[in-house]
Amino acid sequence: MIEALREAAPVALGVLVRRHRDFDACEDALQEALLVASRAWADEGLPDNPTGWLVTTATRRLVEAHRRDAARRRREEADARRDVGVEAPGSDDTLALLLLCCHPALRVPSQVALTLRAVGGLTTAEIARGLLLPEPTVAQRVSRAKARLTEVGRTFAGPDPAQRRERVPAVLAVLSVVFTEGHTASAGEVLHRGELADEAIRLARLLVAALDGAPEHGEAAGLLALMLLTDARRAARTRPDGGLVPLAEQDRTRWDRARIAEGTELVTAVLRDGVPGPYTVQAAIAAVHAEAGRAQDTDWPQILALYDTLVGLWPDPMAQLGRVVALGEVRGPEAALDALDVPGLRDHYRVGAVRAHLLAAADRPDEAAAAFREAARRTSSGPERAYLLDRASQLP
């Protein structure tokens, strides 16, 4: 039942906003409908058309609210009598809702919260747990996002090509943020938050389906491939006690081969059909890692070449840091240390961690131990801190 609610909710909200134009009121009405559905469906079973059921129930709530406004009663009652047939999940309504939640008038944290609430169907409490934020903070972000959309006069509309080209990159960025936080939590005592990673993958699947045939489909498929190939390692990334297991030491028999196959097929199709974007190139890097049965079999020259392509397309600091790691594997740690000057990341703990690994590989243990400890001091992730301190303690 929970899965049916989550699949039906974003499409129902899309229909409601397209028809009634008031995002805030429609989202509130849908939340009431979801509460009613959770009780009614448990007793009576799933309806034949869950999305239509939610639209009908939420529309009634809208009419009841609008009846308190006598000036608007006639129009809202007419809307309530309209046919409530809806499109299947993955239609233009889902895409338009994603575009609306990622409107450029909203800051990225608000886009993330609103997307998880409106399209993901997560409760405020679930979002707060996933993002490690206080529940009132998430509630405030969602409320302000809805108010901002009303303020700038943005209502629901079908995704015309110009709007889609402008806004799909923001949607991809938001889904990437959600997945990244799920894959490696930025703070807290657990390495990953599977519910966020799973939700990002589910929403990416909806987006890929909604963009079928559009020019933007390729990079959306590239992002989905990247998520699948990265998440395939989830089971091997932690020890029984929750400790971090680095890529080179993971038991690759525990990698999810079904996800690897799906991700590889997706990225291969995108590379075959057009010019790859940054997410597709990152997916290709992940696919090269997945092809290696052992860490020592990894084709690092190919990975370095792909990072060169990626940095040319997208000079992101994290992409540059990944290139330094590949450079160290191909040309040695000293060459990588010479290149380890990434603008915008000088104080980031990941730079310190990479420096520590390179110093250890260069047989400079005292410097490496100090770098591991400094990186541990800078991170907010419990598992990563413990791993870095452990590496420091193992050096002679």
pLDDT tens profile 72-117: 444 444 444 444 444 444 456 777 888 888 888 899 899 999 988 8
Q: Are 5 and 121 in contact (CB under 8 A)?
A: yes
CA angle 15, 227, 256 (to 5 degrees): 120
Q: What is the C-alpha to C-alpha distance for residues 315 and 278, in angstroms, rounded to an integer? A: 10
Which pair of tokens denotes residue 10? 């974003």
Query: Does the global pTM surpass 0.95?
Result: no
Please report, in tens digits, the pLDDT of each residue of the chain (396 residues total). 777 887 888 888 888 888 877 788 888 888 888 888 888 888 888 888 889 888 998 888 887 777 655 444 444 444 444 444 444 444 567 778 888 888 888 998 999 999 888 887 778 887 887 777 889 999 999 999 988 888 877 655 556 777 788 889 999 999 998 999 889 888 888 888 888 899 899 999 989 998 888 889 999 999 999 999 999 999 999 999 999 999 999 999 999 999 999 999 999 999 998 789 999 999 999 999 999 999 999 999 999 999 999 999 998 899 999 999 999 999 999 999 999 987 777 778 999 999 999 999 999 999 999 999 999 999 989 999 999 999 999 998
Which pair of tokens denotes residue 329? 């594997």
Kindly state the DSSP code that residue 250 receives in the 8-state scheme.
S
The pairing of beta strand 187-188 with beta strand 380-381: parallel
End-to-end CA distance of the chain: 56
* Residues 238-281: tens digit of each pLDDT: 999 999 999 999 999 999 999 999 999 999 999 998 789 999 99
Which pair of tokens denotes residue 59? 């529309």
Kindly state the DSSP code that residue 238 receives in the 8-state scheme.
B
Q: Are 54 and 35 in contact (CB under 8 A)?
A: no
Q: Which residues contact 244 (CB under 8 A, 6 or more apart)?
A: 191, 237, 238, 383, 384, 386, 387
